[in-house]
């Protein structure tokens, strides 16, 4: 009896302490306004890449990316026209860099769960396979795609 009373008291004390702590931030700091501008283009996709920082185009990296693209991607992708996969011209303007890298690194989950990638299933009977590229390779390919889109 004593024990359970003590326990009840402890629980009560605990929940009393918790309440103000939970409510305090709500009243003191209103949530920061969310930047929605970029989010409207597309999201970041699903996969290992959560943030990519872009600088001016790195030509050496783009060149490496072109070599990987030519050997692992060109069999299904052209830039100007539909092929086995969608045309890639302008892809760096349509999609966030994170989305593009996640598509390269994690295509099967992307096609199952990402709203944009899912949409391709009806149009393209072949599903994009993982091409055994590392994150570094995917980053190089992204640089190549950027260089094509920016005409550099
Ligand atoms: C066997 C064919 C095939 C290969 C190889 C392939 N893809 Fe794809 N890719 C597709 C298909 C098909 C889609 C559309 C999504 C789907 O249905 O899987 C796609 C979608 C994409 C998209 C999304 C395009 C957009 O506009 O949203 C990107 C980016 C992409 N692929 C890049 C690559 C890169 C980079 C490689 C090489 C590492 C590659 N793909 C290799 C078939 C392929």
Residue 40: per-residue pLDDT: 37
pLDDT at 39 over 50: no
pLDDT at 15 over 60: no
Burial label for 136, CB within 10 Å (0-12, 13-18, 19+), is: exposed
pLDDT at 107 over 90: yes
What is the rounded average pLDDT of the residues 96-101? 97
What is the pLDDT confidence band of residue 2, given thresholds at 50, 70 and 90? Answer: low
Name the residue of 46, 65, 77, 114 whose CB sits within 8 Å of the most ligand 1 atoms, as the mutation to test its pocket.
Answer: 77
Residue nearest to atom 16 of ligand 1 (CA): 127
Q: How far is CA 127 from CA 12, 49, 51, 101, 116, in A?
A: 56, 21, 25, 16, 14
Compute the mean pLDDT over every residue in the chain, rounded to the nearest whole number.
84
- For residue 85, how far is its CA from the centre of ligand 1 (angstroms)? 5
Q: Which residues line ligand 1 (CB under 6 A)?
A: 69, 72-73, 75-77, 84-86, 88, 91, 94-95, 100, 103-104, 107, 111, 117, 120-121, 124, 126-129, 131, 133, 141
Residue nearest to atom 37 of ligand 1 (CA): 73
What is the rounded average pLDDT of the residues 84-97? 97
pLDDT at 6 over 60: no
Of all residues in the chain, the percent with pLDDT exceeding 90 is 71
**Dist CA 64 CA 144 (whole Å):** 8
What is the pLDDT confidence band of residue 23, given thresholds at 50, 70 and 90? Answer: low
Question: Do residues 111 and 130 touch, judged by C-beta distance below 8 A?
Answer: no
- For residue 74, how far is its CA from the centre of ligand 1 (angstroms)? 10
Residue 36: per-residue pLDDT: 47
pLDDT at 146 over 70: yes
Least Cα distance to 138 among 14, 45, 33, 1 occurs for 45
């Amino acid at each position: 009896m004593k024990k359970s009373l003590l326990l009840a008291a402890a629980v009560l004390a605990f929940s009393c302490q918790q309440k103000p702590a939970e409510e305090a931030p709500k009243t003191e700091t209103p949530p920061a306004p969310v930047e929605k501008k970029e989010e409207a283009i597309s999201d970041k996709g699903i996969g290992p890449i959560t943030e990519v920082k872009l600088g001016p185009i790195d030509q050496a990296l783009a060149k490496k990316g072109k070599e990987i693209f030519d050997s692992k991607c060109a069999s299904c992708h052209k830039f100007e026209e539909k092929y086995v996969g969608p045309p890639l011209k302008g892809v760096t303007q349509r999609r966030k860099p994170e989305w593009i890298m996640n598509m390269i690194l994690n295509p099967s989950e992307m096609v199952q769960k990402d709203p944009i990638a899912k949409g391709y299933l009806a149009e393209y009977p072949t599903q994009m396979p993982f091409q055994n590229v590392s994150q570094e390779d995917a980053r190089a390919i992204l640089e190549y795609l950027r260089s094509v889109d920016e005409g550099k």
